[in-house]
A and B are shown apart, each in its own frame.
Chain A
Amino acid sequence: MPRVEVIGVRKRFGDVEALRGVDLSIEDGEYVCIIGPSGCGKTTLLRIIAGLIPPDEGHVYIDGKLVNGVPPEDRGLGFAFQNIALFPHMSVLDNVAYGLRVRGKDASFSKKVAREMLRISPIEISPKALPRELSGGAAQAVAIARALATGAKLLLLDEPLGALDARVRVSMRYELRRIVKDLGLTAIHVTHNQAEAMSIADKVVVMRSGRVMQVGAPRELFWQPQNLFVAYFVGEITLLEGYIVERSEDRCLIELREGLQLVSTCPERARGDHVVAAIRPERVKLYASEVGGENVLRGKVLSARVLTGVLRYEVLLENGETLLVKEILTHAKRRVLPETSVWVQIPPQSILLFDYPSIGLMREISLE
C-alpha cells in the first residue's frame, strides 16, 4: 500500500494556478525528492500533504486514509520547513526532545533519542545552546533532528539544507538519507537543487508550472528524460536543432545547422521531422588526434575547465554550435588546452531526440 497518494490536486492563489492537477504516489520507505524551478508549485504540494493548506480540488491519502480536512498534527508527520522556527527559550536538546515529551515519553529517554538525532549534524552543536546562538546552518540541522525525533514515520522536508554552506550541504545530504533509511522512514524532500535530489532520492519528481513533468529514479531521469525540460533541468546537456533527412530500419540521419550531419538510432521518427538532438556531455568522447568511426566531428576547444572530479570542455563545432564534453578527471589524463583542434565522437545510441517545441526551444527549457 502506498503511504502517500495525491490524486487530482489543484490549488489556486488568486490569479495564480499553483497546482494544475497533480497525481503522485509515494511508497512506504521511499526517499522522494520534488524539484523544479521557483514557482513550480513544489512547496505548495508539500504543504497540502502536510495539511497546512487545503487543496481546492483533489484528494490526499496517507496510509490509505483520506486526510483532507485532517489537521497537520493528526497526520503522523515530522516536518522541517524553512521558516518553522525553533522554540527560542528552549535549549537545542529540549527543542529536539520536544516531540517525544509531548507524546508522553519520559525525559531521559527523550533526551537520549535527541542526542542521537543531533549526531547527524556535520556542524558541531552544543546541546545546551539556545537557538539564537546558532548559525543558520546549525539551526537547520537542529530542525531536522527535531523532525526525526518525533518518531513520525513520514518526514516532510522543505529545503532542509538551504541555509547550509555548499560544502556542508553536500556532506549533510548523504547523512540525511542514511538516517532516514536507517530509521525506515518515508521522506518527501523539496529542493531547488537538482544535484542534491539526484544524489539522494530513490525517486525524483520534476515539476514545472503546477504540473508534474516526469517521475522516475535519478538515473532514469538523467539518461531517459521524457521531455526537453527534464533533459535540461536535471543536468547539463547540448541541444542541437535539426531535421531528419534520411531513415533506414533502425537509424536515421539528422541534418543540423550548416549541413552538419549526425547518425542516430531513432524509433518513431519520419523523414522531414523537425527535431532537437540532445546529447549528454558525459557520453561524448574527445580525441586530440583524428579517429575513425560514426559521428566523428571536428572541432576546436573553446574552454577547458577542471571541476571537482571532472574535466568540462566547450567545443566549437564546424557549424558554429557549441558541444559540451565531460570526462572524469585523473592525474594520468592530460587536459586539452583551449584553441586546440580536436575530434569528438557522439555514439548514435546516446543521442536523445525530441520534437522541436512549437513555442521555441528557449521558452521550452526556460528556468524562469
Chain B
Amino acid sequence: MSFGELVSVRRVFEQKRYGRVVGEPLVAIDEASLSFEEGEFVSLLGPSGCGKTTLLRIIAGLIPKTAGSVRIRGEEVTEPHPDFGFVFQTPNLMPWRNVLDNVLFPMEILGKLDKAARARAFELLEMVGLKGFHDVRPHQLSGGMQQRAALCRALVHQPTLLLMDEPFGALDELTRMEMNDLLLEIRARTKATVVFVTHSIAEAVYLSDQVLVFSKRPARIVERIGIDLPYPRSARTRYTGQFMALEHRAGRALGIFHETADQS
C-alpha cells in the first residue's frame, strides 16, 4: 500500500469526568503513533468496554479528546468530517422513513439530494442484496437486512474513510459471516479505508490488513498484527493454518490463554 498516510493518532488520551470526580482513563495511547494508510482495512480488537469504541469516536470527531492529536491527511480532527461514513452498533435507521430515504439521509443533510444520489442509492441497495426493498420500512426487515441498509447509508456520500463500530456484533454467526464477505466485496469495489471496531478475533483477522489488539481499560495497543492472508478471502480462508495461526496470535495478545489452562 503506497497511498500515503491517511489517519494518524498520536498520544491520544481520554478520561471521563463525572462532575468533579475524574474517572479512570478510557483511552491511553502512549505509543509514538498509530497510523492507517489510505485504502487500508484496520481492525481495533479488544475486550468489550475497553475504550476502542471511544477511540473510534475520537477519530470520527464525535467526541473530544482530553489530550493528543488525531490527524486526517495531516489535518487535526476537531469535529466530524462529512467525508467519513459511520456505521453504528445498531442499524440506527429512522422508523418513519423507508429504506431508500434512510439511505439518502446523508445526501439530504449535505444538500446533495439529486438524481445521481438516488441512482447511487439504488446501486448500493442492489450491491448489498436489498434490490426491491427501497420502499419498505425498517421494521419489516430482519436485523441483518437493516444493517445492510445502514451500510448503504454510510456509503452513499462516497466517504474515503469508513468507521465501523462493532456493526455486526448483534447478528447471529451465519449472518455475520455473510456480512463479512459483503464488506470485503464493498471494500474491494469502493477502495475505502476502513477502521473497524470488533471484539471478535475471527472477524478481525478475516477482514483486516492490520489488526491492533487493545488491552483492557485504559485502551492501550498491546500488539499490531499484519494480516497477510491473500485476497480474495472466502469461507475456506477461515480453515487454513495461516488463518488459525493469526487467530492464535491475536488471542494470545488478548490474554485469553491463561498460563495454567493453556495446554497448547
Q: Do A and B bind each other?
A: no
B interface residues with partner A (beta carbon < 8 Å): none
A contact residues vs B (CB 8 Å cutoff): none
